[in-house]
Chains A and B, each alone.
Chain A
Amino acid sequence: MKWYTSEGDFSPIISCRVRLARNFEKYNFYSKLTQKEATEMIEEISKNLLGEKDINFRFINLSNKTDIESLGLVEHHKISLDLLKSREPKAVISSEDDSIHIMINEEDHVRIQCIAAGKNIQKSYTTADYVDDLIEKNLKYAFDEKLGYLTSCPSNIGTGMRASYMVHLPMLEKAGKLHSVITYLSRSGMTIRGIYGESSEPIGSIYQISNQCSLGRSEPEIINILENLTNQIVETELETLEKYVQKNRIFFEDHIYRAYGVLKNCRQIEIGEARNLLSILRLGVVSGTLKDNIKTSVYSIMMNIEYGNLKINTGNISDKEINEARATFIRKCLENSNL
């Protein structure tokens, strides 16, 4: 089962992810790596992973992908925008269940990403740690006793780890409390960003909470701080929601059901409106208003209505037909909801 089909809609936490940045001692880093060396490196990493008994890995050569197909991979969080922009050759090795993605030749030689639904960050770290050991079987990592794992950018050295929670925070956003969340997180070396990580805009009130620093604390310590802070933020989101619903029940329910009504009946819808309405729909599920009615993962719908995925899933329709296709897809996802 894919992680996004069971994203734990009853909580503001959608998913969690652990990313490890690694480079090999024998190769120059990305900015100084030749095409020949990069090809050789991709082959060596593939050899260490493909054929692994415990995890069924698939090799995806990004050179063979169209722009739309690559964009679809970004929208599914399989690869980063940076990998999409990075020069050839580049590749991604993924597990069959889409929970592990190893990006090769991005900013660092290897970026191991393990993603899981809901609050499973410890599981994600254990998997990333296991894959990390598999990769270094015949390849020595660039490592310094004092600085830890050496990375292209000094902001990733040490553990090379970025642990994150993807959270849906519509109430804190509306209440204008995110400013204080940012200040609060930054005091502990943590940060909050948009949905696709660095430099990305928040979409549908979805944010990523992650560690900003990577050197000076061990992996379990980082995870522990992240978990504690995320729990506190999520609790504040739920408290804000509860108080709001208590005071404005009819207004709140009206807001939720109107969004539901539009999504279930629309014949064409633009991406911005769809994201906003789906965010409201998810809030309806988290608050309990629509708990028994929505049978599908709202986040899964959110991912699949984005430009790249919609084009892939509809056989590359024209841009003119895209809003109609989006509406059809949403209606289909919601057709089994019994309201």
Chain B
Amino acid sequence: MLCDNCKKREAEVSVNLEQVYDKEKSELHLCYRCSLDFDKNFFINSLLNDLLFNFTNFHPFDKEKEKEVNDISCEGCSLTLYEFKKIGKLGCGKCYESFKKDINNIIEKIQWSEKHKGKIPKTNAASLIIKKEIETLKEELKNHIDLEQYEEAAKIRDKIKEIERGV
């Protein structure tokens, strides 16, 4: 069997995508050389096209669909989805919002999860901590209301208002 990536060398390694990403049931057969690149390079350069084509139900020979894909562009940098598909790189931070659906599908395939865990930039830290605190308080508020503990609920509501005023 030939390698799924280079289609030149004999496949020697089988990678079970279900085991790797806990998602789709599929297996890749790679040669030893390509298996060493079984990461960003492999996914972005080789699978990205397939992924994007699949996500947008776009067939390579369907010119109408190709135009439709081309028409989606980022409001921040004007990069089109078609360009992204070709180069595998985004043009600015806003691209993540502009091509949200497609990027989320890629992220699902190539990352551990869809939610960041870890360091937060210093400039964002303060506002994020406050946001998290308000979210926690709102959950507490809902719990107290559900349990008909209105006195405690009122206290938490006031606390939320106080924090929001400070922000």
The chain B residue sitting closest to A159, CB to CB, is: B118
Knowing A31-B79, A179-B13, A217-B118, the reply to whether A193 touches B123 (Cβ < 8 A) is: no
Whether A333 is near chain B, meaning CB under 8 Å from some CB there, is no
Instruction: Name A108-166 residues within 8 Å CB distance of B.
Output: 129, 132-133, 136, 140-159, 161
Knowing A29-B89, A198-B37, A217-B117, the reply to whether A141 touches B112 (Cβ < 8 A) is: no
Give Cα A212–Cα B78 distance, bound, in whole angstroms. Answer: 29
Contact partners of B15 in chain A: CB under 8 A: 182-183, 186
Contact partners of A149 in chain B: CB under 8 A: 116, 119, 121
Interface string of B107-149 (1 = CB under 8 A from A): 1001111111111111110001001000000000000000000
B122 touches A153 (CB 8 A): no
A145 touches B116 (CB 8 A): yes
Q: How many residues of A contact B (CB 8 A)?
A: 57
A216 touches B39 (CB 8 A): no
* Number of A-B residue pairs with CB-CB distance less than 8 Å in the complex they form: 164
B39 touches A212 (CB 8 A): yes
Contact partners of B111 in chain A: CB under 8 A: 154-155, 157-158, 213-216
Whether B8 is near chain A, meaning CB under 8 Å from some CB there, is no
Whether B103 is near chain A, meaning CB under 8 Å from some CB there, is yes
Whether A221 is near chain B, meaning CB under 8 Å from some CB there, is yes
Whether B156 is near chain A, meaning CB under 8 Å from some CB there, is no
The chain A residue sitting closest to B107, CB to CB, is: A154
Give Cα A20–Cα B90 distance, bound, in whole angstroms. Answer: 18
Give Cα A155–Cα B37 distance, bound, in whole angstroms. Answer: 13
Q: How far is the CB of B111 from chain A (nearest CB, A)?
A: 4
Q: How many residues of B contact A (CB 8 A)?
A: 50
The chain B residue sitting closest to A201, CB to CB, is: B33
B79 touches A158 (CB 8 A): no
Whether B55 is near chain A, meaning CB under 8 Å from some CB there, is no
Contact partners of A189 in chain B: CB under 8 A: 20, 112
Q: How far is the CB of A251 from chain B (nearest CB, A)?
A: 26
A198 touches B39 (CB 8 A): yes
Q: How far is the CB of A111 from chain B (nearest CB, A)?
A: 14
A133 touches B122 (CB 8 A): yes
Whether A80 is near chain B, meaning CB under 8 Å from some CB there, is no
B121 touches A140 (CB 8 A): yes
B89 touches A30 (CB 8 A): yes
Which of B96, B112, B121 is A216 in contact with, Cβ under 8 Å? B112
Knowing A148-B116, A152-B90, A216-B114, the reply to whether A141 touches B123 (Cβ < 8 A) is: yes
B122 touches A136 (CB 8 A): yes
Contact partners of B56 in chain A: CB under 8 A: none
Contact partners of A213 in chain B: CB under 8 A: 110-112
The chain A residue sitting closest to B123, CB to CB, is: A140
Contact partners of A146 in chain B: CB under 8 A: 114-116
A215 touches B113 (CB 8 A): yes
Give Cα A161–Cα B118 distance, bound, in whole angstroms. Answer: 10
Give Cα A189–Cα B106 distance, bound, in whole angstroms. Answer: 15
B107 touches A215 (CB 8 A): yes
Contact partners of A129 in chain B: CB under 8 A: 119
Which of A144, A157, A182, A218 is B117 in contact with, Cβ under 8 Å? A218
A147 touches B96 (CB 8 A): yes
The chain A residue sitting closest to B19, CB to CB, is: A187
A219 touches B114 (CB 8 A): no
Give Cα A187–Cα B14 distance, bound, in whole angstroms. Answer: 12
Given contacts A31-B90, A149-B121, A212-B39, 14 further A-B contacts (CB under 8 A): A29-B91, A107-B89, A133-B122, A148-B116, A149-B119, A179-B35, A182-B36, A183-B15, A198-B37, A198-B39, A199-B41, A212-B40, A213-B110, A216-B115
The 8 tightest CB contacts between A and B, nearest first, are A148-B116, A216-B112, A216-B113, A32-B91, A218-B118, A142-B93, A155-B40, A215-B111
25 contacts between A and B (CB under 8 A): A23-B93, A28-B91, A133-B122, A136-B121, A141-B123, A143-B124, A145-B128, A147-B114, A150-B93, A154-B90, A154-B103, A155-B40, A155-B44, A157-B107, A186-B20, A186-B38, A192-B36, A198-B37, A198-B41, A201-B33, A213-B110, A215-B111, A216-B113, A216-B114, A216-B117
B residues sitting closer than 8 Å to A (CB atoms) are 12-15, 19-20, 32-33, 35-41, 43-44, 76-79, 87-93, 95-96, 103, 106-107, 110-124, 128, 131
